[in-house]
Structure 1
């Protein structure tokens, strides 16, 4: 009986291999020093997707649900906290508190339990949501790891941001700052995204309230002309359908004459009665040489007509705008921190 129990436990242990999709890098839990050998007190560790300048979050837990701010601030002893990443490769940049680069490395392989034995499959970092990704969820409230794309602001804990004021918004702050120059930064844009973050400024989130999502009309190619500035209403809102985040369209429209097809109205005209009046007069020419005098008659006529009246059936309505929204059901659009 004991033997069977042990065999059963062994089978269960084999089936219950690690399933978390996270690993780590060699910098995790290490102590860093400056060029003079002093602990890198307050050092800043930036993490990016390998080969890019796109921020990639490091996480505090192996389930990849609690992101660190980006950059991560080292403690007074220069220690890096425990780091978890999705499997794949990342890029890092380590600076001192003044922003002077101490270390820069790209293509660092994320290793750990998720790529080890036990039946677990590695998780590709490109298969999970990254900073700036959009997500539609059937709900209305705040969501851990996301903010709502509602036009409010994000920033540091002391920034006074209206949607989220917390250190975990830094990656999204810097991402939006670089991707969309039309998003408003409080006090105006400074020298860089990081400079504005350190200055405790806020940045406005994209505003998808009451709007649907459409692809840019070019998306790295020539413009398709499917959406146009005039026809799709982008020009009326100050932009073109090739500008990231540009709004267009409307929920209703009013017809004007140029929208009507050619047509011939029908009706009838009733002419007024025509009246003619007059009389006859005598014309005397006096004596004519070689003969007697002569006389003649002349007509004196006057004509008039009463006013004409057009009669027809009135066409059209009241010029009220008509709706042009397709059948719709709404939810909340979130954007990844």
Structure 2
């Protein structure tokens, strides 16, 4: 009996292990991770002292300073401020990014660089297999600065509306979003489009303006459709020119076009006005003044009369000669006409 019980226990244990292993194998893959040494870990300056208030910039691999979102959860839904700030114990918070490579730059609280590293491997579950890379294609993830049109009007988590209002840090008083989670977009737009106004004027750097609590104006897509640059890294196509677009077609954020157009005479097609003249017949009167000084000289030219002409003609065309030019009388109102393409309205958002 004892042997049978022991055998049963072994069988139950094996079944349990198999079930647990199967459950683990069937669990959803989490394609997110972090970089060892920079997660819940104290940071130190170049002298070896703890660096409370230090800042970790999370940057897209292979770029100079293009921010990449970091998240507080492995599901990559809760965006963290960028840079991440160390606490009083110089410890960074827990953070996650999608699998792949990343660039990190660590500075002290005054901005002095402590560390920078590019193409650092993000270490995480990666679907549980290990060594096989991530299960999420990073090219399918929206990056900071990406446009999206959404069939709605309200606020979306992780996005702001391109409405020409402002963004800034939590104390900036920005009108569209005043929150520390907007820093990545603030810094991206500051570099990407120098024509975007900074309330109070542009400072020495994007980070300086951010820390100073300045407000950066968002692109203004209100009532506008989005078109592509006329060059986009290639030669100019000449499809959007200053003559007709109203601005350079190769400048990011340039705006042009109009809702309506009023034609000038020069823009009208060349044409003739058809007209018919009705003349039922008329008479001319002649007056011959006395030419007492003429004693003759012979021939048919002995007298040259002065002539007065009157007309009773009725015509079908009226002519205006008050300005010394013969023109037909004007007609039409000279108003503008619509030139709007078939359009449906939605809201354009930009990724934080």
Q: Map 1:48-127 onto structure 2 (within 5 A).
A: 48-52=59-63, 53-117=65-129, 122-127=135-140
Tell me, yes or no, if the aligned pair for 1:17 and 1:120 is still in contact at 8 Å.
Answer: no
Which one is further off, 206-215 or 312-321?
Answer: 312-321
CA contact (8 A) 1:86 1:124 kept: no
SS in 2 for 1:111: coil
Q: 2:57 aligns with which of 33, 39, 46?
A: 46
Residue by residue over 1:256-282, the C-alpha shift from the partner in whole angstroms, topping out at 9 and shown as x without a partner, is: 112211112122456764211337778
Residue deviations 1:53-90 (CA, integer Å, cap 9, x gap): 21111111112111111111100111111111011111
Asked if residue 329 in structure 1 is aligned to residue 341 in structure 2, the reply is no
Counterpart in the other structure of 2:216: 203
Gapped runs of 5+ residues in structure 1? 235-239, 286-296
Structure 1 residues 308 and 136, CA, compared in 2 at 3 Å: closer, same or farther?
A: same
Which of the pair is proportionally richer in strand? 1
Deviations along 1:141-195, whole A, 9 cap, x unmatched? Answer: 1111110000000000100100000000100000000000000001111110001
Judged with a 3 Å threshold, the aligned counterparts in structure 2 of structure 1 residues 316 and 300 are, in CA distance, closer, same or farther, namely closer
CA-based RMSD of the aligned residues comes to 3.0
Greater mean alpha carbon deviation, residues 316-325 or residues 142-151: 316-325
The residue matched to 1:36 in structure 2 has which SS?
coil
Tell me if the contact between 1:45 and 1:72 (Cα under 8 Å) persists in the aligned partners: yes
SS in 2 for 1:317: coil
1:143 paired to 2:171: no
Structure 1 position 93, deviation (Å): 0.4
Structure 1 residue 307 displacement after superposition: 7.9
Taking the aligned partners of 1:266 and 1:44, their CA distance within structure 2 comes to: 79
- 1:280-321 Cα shifts (integer Å, max 9, x gaps): 778896xxxxxxxxxxx9575533133877634978632221
Instruction: Using structure 1 for the length normalisation, give the TM-score.
Output: 0.85
The answer for the alignment partner of 1:36 in structure 2 is: 47
Q: Shift of the alpha carbon at 1:224?
A: 0.4
Q: Quick check: 217-226 or 251-260, which moved more?
A: 251-260
Q: 1:101 offset after TM fit, Å?
A: 0.6
Give the count of matched residue pairs: 320
TM-score normalized by structure 2? 0.82
